[in-house]
């Protein structure tokens, strides 16, 4: 028999799992998502979350309590008489009353190889740290922050130039497949969970705006990982002098440059093609975006904003 599932998620990342569970024949009795937020060009229109929109398209009831402090919201959750709650990037810490509010508990799809990168920004932090692989883990949730026992692991390689956006998409699809497999095991009574290792715990803190500026005094590898780890959002950035004024420019893609024995000061353009010296080595900037402008590849960017050899950016 199909499971009665309460799905809890908010962003694009969660949509693939919602659709996959629905396609697998499970009964999604309700979808919980963050409430509509102001959006649009003027911020006056209320925008439904991607999960909210996808659930409505599938004919699934959508609920969006601000939190679960209200007993009425907790009672309404339990009244659904679901077998299990599936949580993927919902955006709220769930109280024990909700974690225990279904017959089989709550299972979370988390984008890291736990216990490495518990917390809010595991995709970005994995790339910024230079990890060669990450994955999706299906975890039986407990009251801790991503501390529950793990039921299933799908590993995903992180390519040397892969951005956070590209890894996000790969993990979203992997997570959908992993959750369908986990729910099949749960339905059959064959799903086994294993406690997380006590060693190797790292926390993926939310990205702070203060850390988004590129520091070219760091090694080329660190600069490259910083750029791709923050692409496309919120975007690593630097300042470039345009018409005598500093202008903020997002750096959305880069490559490690084959420049041995770089002697120029960090932040100096080593040629006319956006190869920039770092503390050790150099990076080639491949995709850039001025404030309010379109993202452009290096060649197109340089047509409008020449940065000749010897230019210093910061």
- Gap between the Cα atoms of 223 and 217, Å rounded: 9
Output the pLDDT for position 97.
96
| Beta bridge partner(s), residue 118 | 203
Q: What are phi and psi of 253, to 5 degrees?
A: -155, 150
Helical (H) or strand (E) element with 225: helix 220-229
- Note down pLDDT in tens along the chain; length 314 residues: 699 999 999 999 999 999 999 999 999 999 999 999 887 666 678 899 999 999 999 999 999 999 999 999 999 999 999 999 999 999 999 999 999 999 999 999 999 999 999 999 999 999 999 999 999 999 999 999 999 999 999 999 999 999 999 999 999 999 999 999 999 999 999 999 999 999 999 999 999 999 999 999 999 999 999 999 999 999 999 999 887 889 999 999 999 998 766 779 999 999 999 999 999 999 999 999 998 899 999 999 999 999 999 999 98
Give the total number of structural domains in the chain. 2
Domain boundary among 148, 180, 203: 203
Together in a domain, 267 and 297: yes
Tell whether 154 is covered by a domain. Answer: yes
Q: Is residue 311 part of a domain?
A: no
Please report whether residue 310 resides in a domain: no
In the block, residue with structure tokens 């490259």: 224
Residue 49 lies in a domain: yes
Of 149, 172, 203, the residue that ends a domain is 203
DSSP state of 109: E
Same domain, yes or no: 48 and 192: yes
Identify whether 309 is part of a domain: no
> Are 77 and 183 in a shared domain?
yes
* φ, ψ (nearest 5 deg) of residue 168: -55, -50
Q: Flag whether 191 is in a domain.
A: yes
Q: Are residues 173 and 46 in the same domain?
A: yes
- Show the tokens assigned to 62: 């959508």
- Same-domain check for residues 148 and 220: no
Which among 65, 40, 42, 68 has a CA at the least distance from the CA of 52?
65
Q: What is the DSSP letter of 101?
A: S
pLDDT value, residue 39? 77
pLDDT for the residue 43:
66
Answer yes or no: is 169 within a domain: yes
Are 253 and 161 in contact by the 8 Å Cβ rule? The answer is: yes
Task: Tell whether 197 and 263 lie within a shared domain.
Answer: no
| CATH number (domain holding residue 106) | 3.40.50.170
Secondary structure (3-state) at 187 = helix
Q: Are residues 20 and 122 in the same domain?
A: yes
Q: Which domain holds residue 233?
A: 209-304
Q: Give the helix/strand (H/E) hosting 30.
A: strand 27-32
List residues forming the annotated binding site. Answer: 112-115
Q: To 5 degrees, how large is the angle CA 182–CA 185–CA 186?
A: 85
Residue entry with tokens 């209320």:
46
C-alpha–C-alpha distance, residues 127 and 203, integer Å: 14
- The domain that holds 244 is classified in CATH as 3.10.25.10
Residues 6+ away with beta carbon under 8 Å from 279: 216, 217, 218, 219, 220, 266
One domain for residues 91 and 150: yes
Q: For 290, what's the count of Cα atoms within 13 Å in the CB-facing half-sphere?
A: 12
DSSP bridge partners of 138: 109, 152
Quick one: 190 and 48 in the same domain? yes
Residues 220 and 193 in one domain: no
pLDDT (0 to 100) of residue 261: 62
pLDDT for the residue 45: 83
Does 103 lie in the same domain as 237? no
Annotated binding residues for (6S)-5,6,7,8-tetrahydrofolate, written as ranges, equal 112-115
Domain boundary among 203, 219, 249: 203
Residues 241, 267, single domain; the answer is: yes
| The model's pTM | 0.94
Q: Is residue 137 part of a domain?
A: yes
Q: Which residues of 71-102 are buried (b: 16+ CB within 10 A; e: fewer)?
A: eebbeebeebebbbbbbbbbebebeeebbbbb
């Amino acid at each position: 028999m199909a499971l009665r599932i309460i799905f809890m998620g908010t962003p694009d990342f969660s949509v693939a799992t919602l659709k996959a569970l629905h396609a697998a024949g499970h009964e999604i009795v309700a979808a919980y998502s963050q409430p509509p937020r102001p959006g649009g060009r003027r911020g006056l229109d209320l925008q439904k979350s991607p999960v909210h929109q996808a659930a409505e398209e599938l004919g699934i009831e959508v609920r969006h309590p601000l939190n679960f402090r209200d007993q009425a919201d907790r009672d309404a959750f339990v009244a659904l008489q679901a077998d299990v709650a599936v949580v993927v990037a919902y955006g709220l810490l769930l109280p024990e009353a909700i974690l225990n509010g279904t017959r089989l508990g709550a299972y979370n799809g988390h984008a890291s190889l736990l216990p490495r990168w518990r917390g809010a920004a595991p995709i970005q932090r994995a790339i910024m740290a230079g990890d060669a692989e990450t994955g999706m883990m299906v975890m039986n949730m407990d009251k801790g922050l991503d501390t529950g026992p793990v039921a299933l692991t799908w590993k995903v390689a992180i390519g040397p130039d892969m951005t956070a956006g590209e890894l996000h998409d790969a993990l979203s699809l992997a997570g959908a497949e992993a959750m369908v497999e986990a729910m099949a095991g749960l339905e059959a009574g064959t799903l086994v969970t294993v406690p997380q290792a006590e060693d190797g715990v790292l926390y993926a803190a939310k990205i702070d705006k203060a850390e988004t500026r590129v520091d070219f005094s760091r090694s080329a590898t660190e600069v490259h990982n910083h750029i791709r780890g923050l692409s496309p959002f919120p975007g690593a950035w630097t300042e470039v002098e345009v018409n005598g004024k500093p202008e903020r420019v997002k750096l959305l893609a880069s490559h490690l440059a084959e420049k041995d024995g770089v002697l120029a000061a960090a932040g100096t353009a080593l040629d006319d093609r956006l190869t920039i010296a770092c503390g050790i080595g150099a990076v080639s900037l491949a995709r850039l975006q001025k404030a309010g402008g379109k993202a452009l590849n290096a060649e197109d960017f340089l047509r409008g904003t020449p940065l000749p050899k010897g230019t210093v950016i910061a």
